[in-house]
């Protein structure tokens, strides 16, 4: 496995490889990421992983400086998964102008990019898809995601790129971006990996105390309840959304600290527009805060498919 830190080294090493599948990550790798690497291996002879905590996708009050960066453990996981090439650049390498002009501060007191920062020097945006759901709570997030993924695609030039359905809005936006910009890259959606208790694996789960983790389980429980109801014939989204909300708030009635729900929404899987009655693939998406940790999860309800399991 070759590990590169500069764009020029990465390009040099990439040229030695044939058909390549890329798994872009922010590190703190878990089995969810490893499952993406396994899928990548099925789609191409060679696999590349990028590990980069991208500052431009964090808001001013978000957890950029707190985000875990266990690089040695991450590299060991990539090695074990049979990865050929790792790209692990610094913020200065990826954003030299920003670093020089603004004295880029990774230890900013607010825990992220300084609020006075101008927008990223180049903007790739999918405003319609990016302004809903996560976009309402993280208005500049997907601009940062599109910017960094566009740069990674240009640097690594993969034939295939794997993205998790856990971040389904991100997956939809990247798929639309690749279509809109005619990039010859196949975007492969990968299913969400969960812990045995149902919690979707996330690099941020390590911030949860045991008690918070128990409370966080109400998110996947709510989504699972909605999925069951859907397969029993309930197609009205207001009923499914209410069921998810009620499941998430059950703990409150038992006197526990509530989860703070940012949204529970039912949207069309392609347009991300609100859906009343499920006739086409629809996603029920949730974002909630458990203590200081913000978690997202979702379930895809496809009327053309039968219940599994
Ligand atoms: P991140 O490092 O959180 O930016 O995630 C990198 C990639 O891993 C993204 O495509 C995520 O959607 C995907 N991913 C994160 N968590 C999971 C999970 N639990 N199951 C499958 N893929 C995931």
d(CA 256, CA 50): 40
Residue 161 has pLDDT above 60, yes or no: yes
Q: Whole-angstrom distance between the N-terminal and C-terminal Cα of the chain?
A: 37
Which of 281, 284, 287, 269 shows the shortest CA–CA distance to 305? Answer: 281
Instruction: Say what the pLDDT of residue 166 is.
Output: 98
Q: Report the Cα 273 to chain-centroid distance in Å.
A: 19
Task: Average the pLDDT over 55-84 and give the result.
Answer: 95
Residues found in the chain: 309
Instruction: Say what the pLDDT of residue 179 is.
Output: 98
Instruction: Say what the pLDDT of residue 257 is.
Output: 79
Task: Average the pLDDT over 285-307 and give the result.
Answer: 94
Instruction: Say what the pLDDT of residue 309 is.
Output: 53
The best mutation among 21, 25, 57 to test binding of ligand 1, ranked by most ligand atoms within 8 Å of the C-beta, falls on 25
Instruction: Say what the pLDDT of residue 24 is.
Output: 98
In percent, how much of the chain has pLDDT > 90? 85
Pocket lining: 32 vs ligand 1, CB cutoff 6 Å:
yes
Report DSSP state, residue 159: S
Instruction: Say what the pLDDT of residue 115 is.
Output: 46
The best mutation among 30, 164, 223, 285 to test binding of ligand 1, ranked by most ligand atoms within 8 Å of the C-beta, falls on 164
Residue 106 has pLDDT above 50, yes or no: no
Task: Average the pLDDT over 50-65 and give the result.
Answer: 94
Instruction: Say what the pLDDT of residue 211 is.
Output: 93
Residue 258 has pLDDT above 70, yes or no: yes
| Torsion sign, CA atoms 14, 35, 291, 272 | positive
Cα dihedral 81/65/219/212 (nearest 10)? 110
Closest CA to ligand 1's atom 19: 201
Query: What is the longest distance spanned by two Cα atoms in the chain?
Result: 60
DSSP-derived 3-state class of residue 238: helix
Report the predicted TM-score, pTM, of the whole model to 2 decimal places. Answer: 0.93
Residue-averaged pLDDT of the chain: 92
Return the minimum-mean-pLDDT range out of 52-56, 229-233, 256-260.
256-260
Which of 63, 136, 110, 106 shows the shortest CA–CA distance to 291? Answer: 63
Higher per-residue pLDDT: 120 or 213: 213
* 32 CA from centroid of ligand 1 (Å): 6
Provide the H-helix boundaries in the chain.
Answer: 7-15, 31-43, 71-80, 91-94, 96-102, 127-130, 134-137, 141-156, 168-180, 210-231, 237-253
Task: Average the pLDDT over 73-85 and give the result.
Answer: 98
Q: What is the pLDDT of residues 108-145, one digit of tens each?
A: 444 455 444 555 578 899 999 999 999 999 999 999 99
* 67 CA from centroid of ligand 1 (Å): 14
Using CA atoms, how far residue 293 sits from 67, 119, 215, in Å, is 11, 25, 12
Instruction: Say what the pLDDT of residue 123 is.
Output: 87
Q: Report the Cα 169 to chain-centroid distance in Å.
A: 8
Closest CA to ligand 1's atom 17: 32
Provide the H-helix boundaries in 114-236.
Answer: 127-130, 134-137, 141-156, 168-180, 210-231
Residue 306 has pLDDT above 60, yes or no: yes
Q: What is the pLDDT of residues 223-244, one digit of tens each?
A: 999 999 999 999 999 999 999 9
Instruction: Say what the pLDDT of residue 250 is.
Output: 87
Instruction: Say what the pLDDT of residue 132 is.
Output: 98
| Torsion sign, CA atoms 211, 213, 217, 219 | positive
Task: Average the pLDDT over 160-171 and give the result.
Answer: 98
* 113 CA from centroid of ligand 1 (Å): 22
Q: What is the pLDDT of residues 169-185, one digit of tens each?
A: 999 999 999 999 999 99
Q: Report the Cα 284 to chain-centroid distance in Å.
A: 16
d(CA 46, CA 120): 32
Residue 198 has pLDDT above 80, yes or no: yes
Question: Which tokens is 10 given?
Answer: 């990465």
Task: Average the pLDDT over 25-46 and give the result.
Answer: 98
Run of H or E residues at 21: strand 20-25
Instruction: Say what the pLDDT of residue 292 is.
Output: 94
Judge contact between 215 and 290, C-beta under 8 A: yes
Bridge-based pairing of strands 20-25 and 2-4 is: unpaired
Identify the band that residue 103 occupies on the pLDDT scale cut at 50, 70 and 90.
Answer: very low
């Amino acid at each position: 496995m070759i590990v590169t830190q500069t764009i020029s080294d990465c390009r040099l090493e990439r040229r030695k490889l044939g058909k390549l599948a890329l798994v872009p990550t922010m590190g703190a790798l878990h089995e969810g990421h490893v499952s993406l690497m396994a899928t990548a291996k099925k789609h191409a002879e060679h696999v590349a992983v990028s590990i980069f905590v991208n500052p431009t996708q964090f808001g001013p009050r978000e957890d950029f400086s707190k985000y875990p960066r266990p690089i040695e453990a991450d590299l060991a996981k990539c090695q074990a998964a049979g990865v050929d090439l790792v790209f692990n650049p610094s913020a200065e390498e990826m954003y030299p102008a920003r670093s020089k002009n603004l004295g880029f501060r990774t230890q900013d007191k607010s825990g992220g990019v300084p609020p006075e920062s101008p927008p990223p020097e180049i903007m790739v945006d999918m405003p319609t898809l990016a302004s809903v759901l996560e976009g309402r709570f993280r208005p500049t997030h997907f601009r940062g995601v599109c910017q960094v993924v566009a740069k990674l695609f240009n640097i690594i030039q993969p034939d295939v790129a794997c993205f998790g359905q856990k971040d389904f809005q991100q997956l939809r936006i990247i798929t639309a971006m690749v279509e809109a910009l005619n990039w010859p890259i196949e975007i492969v959606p990968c299913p969400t990996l969960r812990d045995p208790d149902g919690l979707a694996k996330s690099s941020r789960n390590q911030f949860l105390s045991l008690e918070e983790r128990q409370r966080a389980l109400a998110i996947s429980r709510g989504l699972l309840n909605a999925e069951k109801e859907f397969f029993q014939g309930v197609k009205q989204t207001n009923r499914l959304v209410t069921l998810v909300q009620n499941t998430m708030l059950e703990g409150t009635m038992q006197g526990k600290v509530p989860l703070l729900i940012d949204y529970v929404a039912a949207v069309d899987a392609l347009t991300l527009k609100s859906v009343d009655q499920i006739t086409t693939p629809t996603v029920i998406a949730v974002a909630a805060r458990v203590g200081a940790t913000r978690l997202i999860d979702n379930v895809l309800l496809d009327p053309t498919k039968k219940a599994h399991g």
